[in-house]
Chains A and B, each alone.
Chain A
Amino acid sequence: MSDLDSINLVLDTTAILGFVRGIDAVGEVVREVADAGLLVALPVTCMAQAHQSAVDEDLLQVLASNPATLVIGDEPDEWLTLAHLLGLVDDLPAASAALLAVDAGCLVLTARPERYSSIGSGELALPFHG
């Protein structure tokens, strides 16, 4: 079984920043998934993008180093699917998050659900407020 099989939630850049900024809605959803023994995926590009805005690198490290999270990159042989997703969301980190979610068959936690509205009918997005 690959790590992908255990991924149950993907955090995009907005969700990663939400965690770092202590937004309860993000923390509780992450806790719910992680305590169930499932993995929360952190796309490499989203982590890098979050780092540009995060004021606390230590909290990014806390998130990335937890056994229930997995920092993961795009698969090279999925470049064409990534390109199709990029055309729909117009943001490479968001496209990476969507690709992971499509592969794992799970949701993307996001503060920007409209960004994913052109993928299907927007079903991939799990919106949070805060």
Chain B
Amino acid sequence: MEQDASHATDKPGTALLEAAGMTSTPEGRASARQLLAEGRARLTPEALAGIRAQVGATPRAA
């Protein structure tokens, strides 16, 4: 049980998948990392600034 509690704290995403009855695989993890990397590469600061200008969003203060 202690291991489970620590697992949930340290790896909330893994704990979430387990709670939902889903399993994580090395192939799935690699695919997710690639998908996120590609998405983040597309959403450049310039692209985000353009979107904010398009929709009238005020950049949040740092």
CB of B3 closer than 8 Å to a CB of A: no
Tell me if A34 and B12 are in contact (CB < 8 A): yes
Q: A66-B16, A102-B48, A123-B47 are in contact. Are A35 and B35 (CB under 8 A)?
A: no
Whether the pair A69, B54 counts as a contact (CB closer than 8 A) is: no
Q: Is the CB of B56 within 8 A of A81?
A: yes
- Chain A 100-130 interface 0/1 with B at a Cβ cutoff of 8 Å (1 = within): 0011011100000000000111011110100
Chain A neighbourhood of B24, CB < 8 A: 27-28, 31
Q: Which of A25, A78, A123 contacts B32 (CB 8 A)?
A: A25
Q: How many residues of A are in contact with the other chain, CB < 8 A?
A: 43
Closest residue of A by beta carbon distance from B32: A28
Of B17, B31, B48, the residue contacting A25 (CB under 8 A) is: B31
Alpha-carbon distance between A28 and B53 when the two chains are bound, in angstroms: 32
Q: What residues of A have a CB within 8 angstroms of the CB of B13 in the complex? A: 30-36, 68
Cα distance, A102 to B48, chains bound together (Å): 7
State whether the Cβ of A54 lies closer than 8 Å to any Cβ in chain B: no
Interface residues of A (CB under 8 A from B): 4, 9, 19, 22, 24-25, 27-36, 59, 62-63, 66-69, 78, 80-81, 84-85, 88, 99, 102-103, 105-107, 119-121, 123-126, 128
Residues of B within 8 A of A (CB): 11-17, 19-22, 24-25, 28-29, 31-33, 35-36, 39-40, 42-44, 47-48, 50-52, 54-58, 60
Return 30 A-B CB contacts under 8 Å, by A number. A4-B60, A9-B36, A24-B25, A25-B31, A25-B32, A27-B20, A27-B22, A28-B24, A28-B31, A32-B29, A32-B33, A34-B13, A34-B16, A35-B11, A35-B12, A59-B20, A66-B16, A80-B56, A81-B57, A84-B54, A88-B55, A102-B48, A102-B52, A103-B57, A119-B51, A120-B51, A123-B42, A123-B43, A123-B44, A126-B39
